[in-house]
């Protein structure tokens, strides 16, 4: 096997992977924009500059495509979490993760998936990348939550899992869109507001 062959193969594979990444990015944006049900495979293919039949060579179904997009954002979250300084206070890290989440959502990059659709749930659970990312993210956040509670920074009366779910729920909080549509606040202010209401609550202190 001559080297040219190897080079050409590698190049081809790189092109393929790049195209696949482009498809996933497009799907990701459309999922964020209109949700799983309203997103059509035609639109993804069109905006990705590829024929629909070609897309189906990469992903066996619309559900698998959405799962790939979900796995991607899970990987991004995992990487962000891993990159946080180990010795920082847990509460700071949790705030940083929530800030990151809100910024991704405001950037239009947070896929919004219905928790009700059963076929999609199956695809998400069946996707190993997706599940692994989710589990690592959950485990690390839960550990930080419990550490923050032990340190007296987070309310220890709340079950850790409830805090965790509260974080996840903020990833699809429509309050951000409401505030943006209102037009009175910049994205940075919106993030600060939601961070504040989430951690400090609505009550006066």
Partner DNA sequence: GTCTATATCCCGATAGAC
Partner DNA sequence: GTCTATCGGGATATAGAC
Token pair recorded at residue 1 = 């096997």
- Specify the DSSP class assigned to residue 184: S
Q: What residues contact 127, with CB distance under 8 A and at least 6 apart? A: 64, 67, 68, 70, 71
Q: Can you tell me the distance from the alpha carbon of 161 to that of 148, in angstroms, rounded to the nearest whole number? A: 13
Q: Which of residues 68-127 bind its own copies (CB under 8 A)?
A: 91, 114-117
Q: Does 165 bind its own copies (CB under 8 A)?
A: yes
Q: Cα dist. 140→19, 40, 114, 131, 198 in Å?
A: 32, 34, 24, 14, 19
Report, in angstroms and rounded to the nearest whole number, the Rg of the chain calculated over CA atoms: 20
In terms of Cβ atoms closer than 10 Å to its own Cβ (0-12, 13-18, 19+), residue 138 is: middle
Q: Which is nearer to DNA, 22 or 153 (CB)?
A: 22
Choice from 14, 17, 61, 196 touching DNA (CB under 7 A): 61
CB of 139 to its own copies, least distance (A): 16
Q: Which is nearer to its own copies, 16 or 38 (CB)?
A: 38
Choice from 2, 5, 87, 203 touching its own copies (CB under 8 A): 203
Q: Does 63 bind DNA (CB under 7 A)?
A: yes
Q: Which is nearer to its own copies, 68 or 148 (CB)?
A: 148
Q: Which residues are near its own copies by CB under 8 A?
A: 33-35, 37-38, 91, 114-117, 149, 152-159, 161-163, 165-166, 168-169, 172-175, 177-179, 182, 184-185, 193, 196-205
């Amino acid at each position: 096997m001559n080297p040219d062959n190897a080079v050409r193969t590698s190049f081809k594979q790189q092109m393929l992977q790049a195209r696949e990444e482009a498809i996933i990015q497009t799907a990701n944006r459309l999922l964020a924009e209109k949700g799983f049900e309203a997103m059509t495979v035609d639109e993804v293919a069109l905006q990705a500059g590829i024929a629909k039949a070609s897309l189906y060579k990469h992903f066996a179904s619309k559900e698998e495509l959405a799962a790939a997009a979900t796995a991607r954002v899970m990987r991004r979250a995992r990487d962000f979490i891993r990159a946080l300084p180990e010795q920082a206070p847990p509460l700071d890290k949790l705030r940083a993760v929530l800030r990151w989440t809100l910024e991704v959502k405001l950037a239009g990059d947070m896929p919004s998936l219905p928790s009700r659709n059963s076929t999609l749930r199956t695809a998400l659970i069946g996707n190993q990348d997706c599940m692994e990312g989710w589990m690592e993210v959950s485990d690390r956040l839960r550990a930080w939550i419990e550490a923050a509670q032990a340190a007296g920074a987070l309310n220890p009366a709340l079950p850790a899992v409830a805090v965790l779910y509260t974080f996840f729920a903020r990833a699809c909080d429509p309050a951000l869109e409401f505030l943006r549509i209102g037009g009175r606040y910049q994205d940075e202010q919106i993030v600060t507001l939601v961070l504040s209401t989430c951690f400090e609550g609505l009550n006066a202190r």
